[in-house]
């Protein structure tokens, strides 16, 4: 454990694997045990367990114990954040709006100086 990554990174990273995306797809049909989840994949149980750990760390699933079974439930809230980020960067419209915004700021603040640099971070 070096330096805990931010929520969004965890979510995107969790989605960056076909097996994990398939698991999420599967979980849309309702809570499922690890065994059922593992069945379609040519992969050992521990491998699936590890994928589930990644999904859990990203807040995308919840595991509840039920006798000797672990019932996995999908949590879609983190997907909302992911969706919001992507949509904010997706379309032309936003892009042009930002460009205009930037031009206006440039004209206002510094007609003489070299570009003021807005220190734009991610968010």
Partner DNA sequence: CCTACAGTTAAGCACATCATTAATTAAGGA
Partner DNA sequence: TCCTTAATTAATGATGTGCTTAACTGTAGG
Binding piece for DNA, criterion CB under 7 A, among 29-37, 73-81, 82-90, 103-111? 29-37
What are the C-alpha distances in Å from 23 to residues 26, 65, 76, 79, 114? 5, 18, 13, 14, 51
In the region spanning residues 8 to 47, those forming contacts with its own copies, defined by CB under 8 A, are 8-10, 12-13, 15-19, 21-22, 24-26, 28-30, 39-40
- Among its own copies, DNA, none, partner that 26 touches (CB below 5 to 8 angstroms by kind): its own copies
Q: How far apart are the first and last CA of the chain?
A: 23
Q: Of the two residues 25 and 94, which places its CB atom closer to DNA in the complex?
A: 25
Closest to 37 in 3D by CA, of 2, 69, 85: 69
Q: Of the two residues 12 and 70, which places its CB atom closer to its own copies in the complex?
A: 12
Cα 67 to Cα 69: distance, rounded to the nearest angstrom? 5
In the region spanning residues 47 to 66, those forming contacts with DNA, defined by CB under 7 A, are 47-54, 63, 65
Question: Which residue reads 């859990």 in tokens?
Answer: 56
Cα 91 to Cα 81: distance, rounded to the nearest angstrom? 17
Binding piece for DNA, criterion CB under 7 A, among 13-21, 81-89, 96-104, 109-117? 13-21
């Amino acid at each position: 454990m070096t330096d805990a990554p931010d929520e969004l990174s965890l979510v995107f990273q969790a989605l960056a694997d076909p097996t994990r995306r398939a698991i999420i797809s599967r979980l849309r049909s309702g809570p499922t045990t690890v065994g059922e989840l593992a069945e379609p994949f040519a992969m050992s149980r521990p491998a699936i367990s590890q994928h589930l750990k990644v999904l859990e760390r990203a807040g995308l699933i919840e595991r509840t114990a039920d006798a000797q079974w672990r019932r996995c439930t999908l949590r879609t809230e983190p997907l909302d954040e992911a969706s919001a980020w992507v949509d904010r960067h997706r379309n032309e419209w936003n892009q042009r709006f930002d460009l205009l915004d930037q031009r206006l700021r440039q004209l206002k603040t510094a007609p003489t100086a070299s570009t003021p640099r807005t220190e734009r971070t991610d968010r």
